Amino acid sequence: MVISTLVVDAANVVGSVPDGWWKDRAGAARRLHERLLVADLPHDEVVLVLEGAAKGGVPAGRDVHVTTVHAARDGDREVQAQAAAAVERGARVTVVTADRVLRGRVEQLGAQPMSPSWLLDQLG
């Protein structure tokens, strides 16, 4: 059985909706995490990558099917590393990001890039 993994660039997803997230990055990350926890997504596991002040909203670790990862440096490197690790494990990987360079990098790894709007549509 092939595992399906969704890797989420939280900064891009949160930043795609002008709802005042910049005033409370940690709160925006927490709200996204909560939505991912209850979402009916077609993925076996979800990896939520947080960077900067957003890391204050959700502790690193696993909650049910969502694993939160705090990027040591920039989020793009961590998103790429998480996608590469999942591909290496044999997972079918989808990466949510708006970054064109990152989309190309993960596609070269064998992952399918999707836009933040795609994920937000999935979340309802």
- The Cα 101–Cα 76 span in angstroms is 9
Q: Are 57 and 27 in contact (CB under 8 A)?
A: yes
Indicate whether 118 pLDDT > 90: yes
Quote the number of domains for the chain: 1
Q: Helix, strand or coil for residue 51?
A: coil
Q: Tens digit of pLDDT for each residue in 29-88? A: 999 999 999 999 999 999 999 999 999 999 999 998 999 999 998 999 999 999 999 999
Contacts of 16 (CB under 8 A, 6+ apart): 98, 116, 117, 120
pLDDT attached to residue 15: 92
The mean predicted confidence, pLDDT, of the chain is 95
pLDDT attached to residue 121: 95
Q: What is the CATH number of the domain that holds 38?
A: 3.40.50.1010
- The Cα 90–Cα 86 span in angstroms is 7
Residue 19 — pLDDT band, cuts 50, 70, 90? confident
Residue 86 domain boundaries:
4-123
| pLDDT > 90: percent of the chain | 90
pLDDT attached to residue 24: 94
